[in-house]
Amino acid sequence: MKTPGDTGFAFPEWAYKPESSPGSRQIQLWHFILELLRKEEYHDVIAWQGDYGEFVIKDPDEVARLWGARKCKPQMNYDKLSRALRYYYNKRILHKTKGKRFTYKFNFNKLVLVNYPFIDMGSTGGSVPQSAPPVPTGAGTHFRFPPSTPSEVLSPNEDLRSPGGMFSSVARRMARGSVSDCSDGTSVNSEIEEGNTGAGEERGERAVSGGGGAGGGAGYRSIIHPRLSHETLFRMYGGPGNPAGHPGSRGHTGHRIHPEPLSPFPVSPLPGPGGASLLAPPLSPALSMTPTSHLAYTPSPTLSPMLGSHFSFNPEDMKRYLQAHTQSVYNYGLSPRAFLQYPNIVIPQPHRPAADKAGLTAERGATERVERATTAGGGERGGERGGDRHHHPPLAHSTHHHPHLPHSAHPHSHSHPIHHPLHLGEEPPHMSPFKFKLQPPPLGRKQREGQIQSKPRQSSLSSGSGSGSMSSTSGLGSSLSFGSDLSSASGSGLISASSSTQSLNSAGLPKIKVEPISDIESEEEVEVTDISDEDPDERDEEFELFSPRHFRACNHHHHHHVNGTVTTQHQPHPDEDLDEDVFKTPAPPPPGLMPFFTSQHTQSNTHRGLPTLKCEPPEPAESNTSPSQTASAGAPQTKCIPLKLRFKRRWSEDQRMEASQEESDDKKVRPEEERERQRQSNGQMEIEEDGTGSGEGESPPPLAYEGSIATPLASHSRASAELHRATAQLSLENKDC
DNA sequence: GCCGGAACTT
DNA sequence: AAGTTCCGGC
């Protein structure tokens, strides 16, 4: 099953370094785990088991050994490895399944976001199904996290490599290579990568593979977020040839099956060989797990293929990319910084149009599992409506594993397939009313504790003591609960739907309407409304994405603004500064088209105006937009609200929540009863948090932007022109970098 | 076994 | 930043 070529890593090299994290040049433990998990050879050692995302280390010593080999740390043992694993708790990447020995569970939401911002969790819901392990079955969620993409699947290497040269096999190898130089000479890689060999030899297990599993490979097909269809991605990046395929066509559902194996990765941002350089900048800073205070790096755009010097993008692609990116931001609560690069671009808000939601049904229809045979998996799970939302745990191996499919529902997935922006034309009417609903109460971070079956001990989350590391880590997350698929699920659905419509505006410029709100959140005065609809968002977003520091900052002053008024400027705080950069008001854009980078200087520049807020332009295209929009349209500037506000609001909320949680967390000391209470309340909290992130059901209507898909040609042209311009600009900027 | 602090390494 | 190593405590 594995292709020889792949030798191993399913993940493209760049996948390993999602963030710029300098430090982590090498493979990260969670990636490593994922790798093992996807290989049948290692099933004896470690395998998916239980709930979605849950895996069991069957042979701790062996896993440790493998890890040690990979890292060239011969002294590695399970104790150490487990320590590393525990650090993930704070990062929310992983959590322990209590009561089960050697059993941990991934928080795919987190992982995905971090690594693949492009992937839409949103639709998927932001929910990445948490539990869904990458299953071979395509079915699971649409989004499978571990993108395994074995090379086979992906063949992408070749195929994908887009013009830009996506990731070359070489690169991958190199990556691996890095690992290998252990003293002993045994290349670690070999063990793992060769998988067959290594593992096989050792364990002799490949048998399993039998067909189904197809090894990780098959299983994993990539999941790309529906939002971004593969196509989109490909296109963006120069995609493979899946040309025709409109996915849509595939099932009637259309939605998506990915014709081929798509892996999420296909998109690798890495430009060819040079990729490495690109790596540095994470796709989105926001994503970074750690709070970096400074914006040290520029956000993704840099990474984005488009930017890459190598590539040239066409406007359309760029547009898509941006939108996708922006969406991610919104959906996931990414830092607005991400948009710095594109000052003039309006960030589309995901609104979830009802119509979009509909799409699910169709999807559902599609198979839950996608047949791998045909396509890779794009399966999205579709609708969640009924109870089906859950994905199956994908076991890496196909069938055999599921001990139980527990899962309850994690709805998450929403896959909404359809909505990719890409398919503009295609988007069929999704009729199904998809509802996202959430899931069961999320267990949040506290889940771990909550689970306490046996252990009375509450783990403290990290915040408490002050170890540096802790603090940093803890910060990060603010709030998310791991398990909560729900959050993602709910959110995602909506989001996705919305995205479809909106996102692609022909023009690409979304319009936002802002209205002042006073009440909802005390803090924020301004509300942005989604013109098209506001769904409250139930979607959950990943709050974690937000960097903590913001939260903190927010605490101090969250009230910056007066109702309705925007103040973008005043915030003294350093943090604020960041925001500022991000949010800076954009220079007044010319109505028609604003040049993308008007102000761009260098990245560093103090501020380039980000057009975070967009006023509604008088564009005609809006027909699509909901009436509300129209109405809003009338109001010009007053309505414009800086995204900043919006974000702040969220942040504030998150922060608050976090604070409260943290408080509780911090107080490890509290009596059991207290804890209990806390736990319970946590559940709520988490939910809220989720809500917050996403859209807070209550409040904030997302910014609406115009998303008429069918835009007039004129718009297109304009957009194109802009994009071109932008592209050019980016190129220039990159050079500097 | 698991947890998490602390110091240290890359 | 992301572990690695060591370790006391439950």
Q: What is the pLDDT of residues A447-487, one digit of tens each?
A: 333 333 333 333 333 333 333 333 333 333 333 333 333 33
**Cβ-contact A267, A118 below 8 angstroms:** yes
CA atom of A389 to C1′ atom of C5, Å: 43
Q: Which nucleotides of C are covered by protein (CB under 7 A)?
A: 1-7, 10
Confidence of residue A25 (pLDDT cuts 50, 70, 90): low
The predicted pLDDT at position A182 comes to 60
Q: For residues A63 and A70, what is the distance between their CA atoms, to the nearest angstrom? A: 10
Separation of A543 CA and B9 C1' (Å): 31
pLDDT of residue A51: 83
* Residue A458: nearest nucleotide (C-alpha to C1'): B3
Q: Please, what is the end-to-end C-alpha distance for chain A in angstroms?
A: 41
- Token duo for residue A471: 């603090």
Which residue is closest to C1 in terms of CA–C1' distance? A23
In angstroms, how far is C8 C1' from A83 CA? 14
Pick the CATH number of A17-115 from 1.10.10.10, 2.170.120.20, 3.40.190.10, 3.40.50.720: 1.10.10.10
pLDDT number for residue A66: 94
Residue bearing tokens 């104790």: A79
Answer whether residue A112 shows pLDDT above 80: no
Residues near strand C (C-beta below 7 A) are A 19, 21-24, 28-30, 67-68, 71, 73, 75-76, 79-81, 83-84, 87-88, 91, 289-292, 456-457, 469, 472-473
Our measurement of CA A706 to C1' B2, in angstroms, reads 52
Q: How far is the CA of A394 from the C1' of B6 (A)?
A: 39
**What 3 state SS string does A546-614 have?**
CCHHHHHHHHHCCCCCCCCCCCCCCCCCHHHHHHHHHHCCCCCCCCCCCCCCCCCCCCCCCCCCCCCCC
- Nearest nucleotide from residue A465 CA, by C1' atom: B5
Tell me the average pLDDT across A99-110: 88
How many Å apart are A289 CA and C4 C1'?
A: 20
On the CB side of A638, CA atoms within 13 Å amount to: 9
Q: Which positions on strand B lie below 7 Å from a protein C-beta?
A: 1-8, 10
Q: How many Å from the CA of A107 to C1' of C1? A: 19
The mean pLDDT value of chain A amounts to 42
Which protein residue has its CA closest to C1' of C2?
A24
Q: Which two tokens stand for residue A214?
A: 């197809």
Domain ranges of chain A: 17-115
Structure tokens at A169: 């096999």
Predicted confidence (pLDDT) per residue in A207-250, tens digit: 333 333 333 333 333 333 333 333 333 333 333 333 333 333 33
Q: Report the nucleotide nearest the CA of residue A23, measured to C1'.
A: C1
Return the pLDDT at A603: 36
Name the protein residue, with chain letter, whose CA is nearest the C1' of B6: A467
Tally of residues, chain A? 737
- Nucleotide whose C1' lies closest to the alpha carbon of residue A78: B1
Using the C1' atom of nucleotide B7, identify the protein residue whose alpha carbon is closest.
A467
pTM of the model: 0.36
pLDDT tens profile A123-137: 333 333 333 444 333
Nucleotide with smallest C1' distance to residue A463 CA: B4
Q: Which nucleotide is nearest to A97 (CA to C1')?
A: B2
Name the band, by pLDDT with cuts 50, 70 and 90, for residue A668: very low
The pLDDT score that the predictor gives to residue A52 is 87
CB crowding A551-589: b at 16 or more within 10 Å, else e? bbbbeeebebbeebebebeebebebbbbbbbbbbbbbeb
How many Å apart are A690 CA and B5 C1'?
30
Q: Can you give the pLDDT at residue A29? A: 94
Q: How confident is the model at residue A443 (pLDDT cuts 50, 70, 90)?
A: very low
**Is A509 in contact with A614 (CB distance < 8 Å)?**
yes
Region of poorest pLDDT, from A364-373, A463-472, A579-588: A579-588
Pairwise pLDDT comparison (A112 vs A401), residue with the higher score = A112
Structure tokens at A545: 């994405």
Evaluate if the CB of A82 falls below 7 Å from strand B: yes
Whole-number pLDDT of residue A622: 34
Quickly give A465 CA vs B5 C1' distance in Å. 8
pLDDT in tens, A33-92: 999 998 999 999 999 998 889 999 999 999 999 999 999 999 999 999 999 999 999 999
- Give per-residue pLDDT as tens, A291-329: 333 332 222 222 222 232 232 233 343 344 334 333 333
Tell me the mean pLDDT in the region A344-358. Answer: 35
Å between CA of A44 and C1' of C3? 25
Whether A159 contacts A241, CB under 8 Å: yes
